[in-house]
A and B are shown apart, each in its own frame.
Chain A
C-alpha cells in the first residue's frame, strides 16, 4: 500500500504484523486505552536487592521471546545492555527482543548476540556505529522498528510496545528501588527516556553501582514501580557518559549558516519575551543558539523555556536569566547534571511528557522554534535523518519528527554541499520527518521556505535574507557538484520507520555487501 507521501509500505510485516500507513502528521487520531502492567505486592520482609543479573533473570523469570528494554542516557558509555545480554546468552536464552532507545558503538556485542539467535528483534529510535551498519546489511530477519522519542513513549503507554522487563541504568538507587540520575560516579542527569518504561513495563529492574541509604532523594523513578535492584561493579564509563562541554563550531561556513538560522527566527518575530526554543547539541546547532542568545541579550529578552538535550551552554543561559526554565530529557555534560541537581528551574521530564502525540499535551507543542539537522531533504521538504546517501543507517529520528511537528517554526540547518554531496534531492532515500512539518532550510548559499508558509517567506524577504526556491538551490548544488547517481538498494526491508503516531512513514532497504 502507498502511504500519503507515496512511499510503498507492506500491509503485513513478518514478525511485526499489520501496520498502518502514514496519513499526514496530524491525521491519525488515537483509538486505544493506556495499557496497565500487572499489579504486584511487596511484603514488609521482602528484599528487593539481587546479588546479580543472573539472580534477577531466575527470579522473574526471564524466558525466551521476552522484550527487554533499555535506555541511552549513558550514550556511548553504557555498560548495562552488554551486561544484561551477556547474562541472557550465558543462560541460553533465545529470540529476545531488545527495545533500546538509542544504539551506540559501545553496543557492538549486539551483533554477535543477533547472529547467535539470542536477540532476534530490535526496537530503537536511533542507531550509530557497527550495529547500524550490520542492520543495513541484513543482521535481523525481522525488520528493526525505528520510532521517534515521543513515539516510543506513546507505544509503551498504549500497549503497542509491550515490555516484559525494563532494565534501567541507575546512577544512584536505594535498596527499595528509588532512582535518580544526578548522584553516583555514573551520574548522567535526566533519566527521561526511562520514564515510560518504568510506568508500564511488567517488571522493572534498577541496575546500579551506587546504592545509598534509604530513602534516596531526589527521586526520579519511584520505588513503587521498581521490582528489583541489582548492584554491579560498574554501570558505565563516565567518560563515555558525559562528553564534556560540546564546543561551538569554528567552521566559517557552519557559522554563517548558524547566523542565518538565528536571523530567520528573528525575522519570524519569535524573539520576544516568552520565547521557547529547542536546539541540538552539535557544534552547528550550538552556534545557532549562540547567535540567538546575542539577539536576546541585545533586545533584553527573557525566554520561557529551552527544551530537549541540555548542555552547559543552555545551563549558562538559564543562569544568566535568558530563559526562565529548562526542560531536560537528556543531559550531555557535567554542567547539565549539576544544574538539574541544584536548580529547581531545571526540570527533568520524561520522553512522553517531552514528545508523545497521544496524551493531553506534550512539551514540543509549546515550542516557538527548533533547529534541526538532516542528511537529505527533498523538494517537498521531507527530511531524512535515518540513512546516509550511501543507503546505510546512520541515525534515526530521535526527537526530530516530534519537535518538527510541535514547533511554530522548524528550521533545518545544513551545508548545501556536504563534501561533494548535494543535500537537496528529488526524493529522499528514507523519509523520517514529513515536509508539512518542515518550514525553512538554511544553507550557506541560500534559504528555502516551504511553500505552505507564504507569510513566513514574506517576512524573510522583507529583512533581506537570501530566500530562494528549493528547486533553485538544488540546481545550484548540482551545477557545482554534478548530479549524483542514486544509490541502489535491495528489495529486502531491514527496518520500518514509524512516525510518532504509530503509522509507518517509510521503510529502509538492505544495502548490498
Chain B
C-alpha cells in the first residue's frame, strides 16, 4: 500500500454528483471517511463502501476523504474518487474502472 502525495478535489455540489476532497493522512491512520449525504439514511453505507473499494483497488491507504454527496450513483462516486486520486498524484490502474 502506498501513500498519497498531496490534497486534491473532484466533483461538484450539483444534484446527482459528489464532491470529494482527498488529503494524505498520517502514516498508519488508514482510510478515514467523513461523509455528508442527502440520502444518508438510505445509502450512507453504500457510499462509504464505494469510496473504500476504489481506494483499496488502487492500492492506497493513509488518507482522509471528505465527501459531500448529492445523491450520486455508484458509477459517479467511483469516477469522482478515481479523479481525486489521480489529481492527488496517485498512479492509477485504469483497468479497474
Chains A and B directly touch (beta carbon < 8 Å): yes
Binary per-residue interface labels of chain B (27-64) against chain A in the complex, 1 for a CB within 8 Å, 0 otherwise: 00000000000110111111000000000000000000
**In the complex where A419-B15, A419-B16, A420-B16 touch, is A484 in contact with B73 (Cβ < 8 A)?**
no
Size class of the B contact interface (CB-based, 8 Å): 10 to 19
Give Cα A488–Cα B72 distance, bound, in whole angstroms: 22
Q: In this assembly, does A481 line the interface, its C-beta being within 8 Å of a C-beta of chain B?
A: yes
A379 vs chain B, min Cβ distance (A): 18
> Which residue in A390, A480, A482, A488 is a CB contact (below 8 Å) of B46?
A482
Which residue of chain B lies nearest to A422 when distances are taken between CB atoms in the complex?
Answer: B42
Q: Which residues of B contact A484 (CB under 8 A)?
A: 39, 42-43
CA distance A305 to B71 in the complex (A): 40
Q: Assuming A419-B15, A421-B71, A480-B73, is B39 touching A487 (CB within 8 A)?
A: no
A420 engages B73 (CB within 8 Å) = yes
Contacts of A421 in B (CB 8 A): 39, 42, 71
Q: How far is the CB of A479 from chain B (nearest CB, A)?
A: 11
Q: How far is the CB of B27 from chain A (nearest CB, A)?
A: 34
In the bound assembly, the distance between CA atoms of A484 and B47 in angstroms comes to: 11
User: Does residue B70 face the partner (Cβ distance < 8 Å to A)?
Assistant: yes
Q: Give CA–CA (A420, B46) in the complex, Å.
A: 12
B71 and A485 within 8 A (CB): no
A389 on the B face (CB < 8 A)? yes
Closest chain-A Cβ to B14's Cβ sits at a distance in Å of 11
Docked-complex contact A419 and B38, CB < 8 angstroms: yes
Could you jot down 5 A-B contacts, CB within 8 Å? A419-B16, A421-B71, A482-B43, A485-B43, A488-B41
- Secondary structure at the A interface, as helix, strand, loop or mixed, is loop
- The answer to whether A389 and B42 have CB atoms under 8 Å apart is yes
Contact A487 B42, beta carbon cutoff 8 Å: yes
Give the docked Cα–Cα distance between A420 and B39 (Å).
8
Contacts of B39 in A (CB 8 A): 419-421, 484
Is there an interface contact between A390 and B41, defined as CB atoms closer than 8 Å? yes
Write the nearest CB–CB distance from A492 to chain B, whole angstroms: 18
- With A and B bound together, what is the CA distance between A129 and B41 in angstroms? 20
Q: Are A420 and B71 in contact (CB under 8 A)?
A: yes
Cα–Cα, bound, A488→B41 (Å): 9
Contacts of A419 in B (CB 8 A): 15-16, 38-39, 70-71
Query: How far apart sit A485 and B40, CA to CA, in the bound complex (Å)?
Result: 10
CA–CA, A389 and B38, complex, Å: 11
Task: Chain A residues near B42: list those with CB within 8 A.
Answer: 389-390, 420-421, 484-487
Q: Output the nearest chain A residue to B40 by Cβ-Cβ distance.
A: A390
> Is A485 a contact of B45 with CB atoms below 8 Å?
yes
Residue on A nearest B76 in the bound complex, by CB:
A420
Q: Which residues of chain A come closer than 8 Å to B45, judged between CB atoms?
A: 485
Q: A419-B16, A484-B42, A485-B42 are in contact. List 16 more A-B contacts (CB 8 A).
A: A389-B42, A391-B41, A420-B16, A420-B42, A420-B72, A420-B73, A421-B42, A482-B73, A484-B39, A484-B43, A485-B41, A485-B43, A485-B44, A486-B42, A487-B41, A488-B41
- Asked if A481 and B73 make an inter-chain contact with CB atoms under 8 angstroms apart, the answer reads yes
Q: Which of A418-450 contact B (CB under 8 A)?
A: 419-421
* A484→B73 CA distance, assembly (Å): 12
Q: Which of B16, B70, B73 has the most CB of A within 10 A?
A: B73
The answer to whether A420 touches B41 (Cβ under 8 A) is no
A474 CB to nearest chain B CB (Å): 15
B36 to chain A, nearest CB (A): 14
Per the bound structure, the CA–CA distance linking A390 and B74 in Å amounts to 20
Shortest beta-carbon distance from A84 to chain B in Å: 36
Which A residues from 392 to 440 make CB contacts under 8 A with B?
419-421
Contact with B along A462-494 (1 / 0, CB 8 A): 000000000000000000111011111000000
Q: In the complex the two chains form, what is the Cα distance from A419 to B71 in whole Å?
A: 5
Would you give the shortest CB distance from B72 to chain A, in whole angstroms? 7
CB 8 Å contact bits of A361-396 with B (1 = contact, 0 = none): 000000000000000000000000000011100000
Among A420, A421, A487, residue most surrounded by chain B Cβ atoms (within 10 Å) = A420
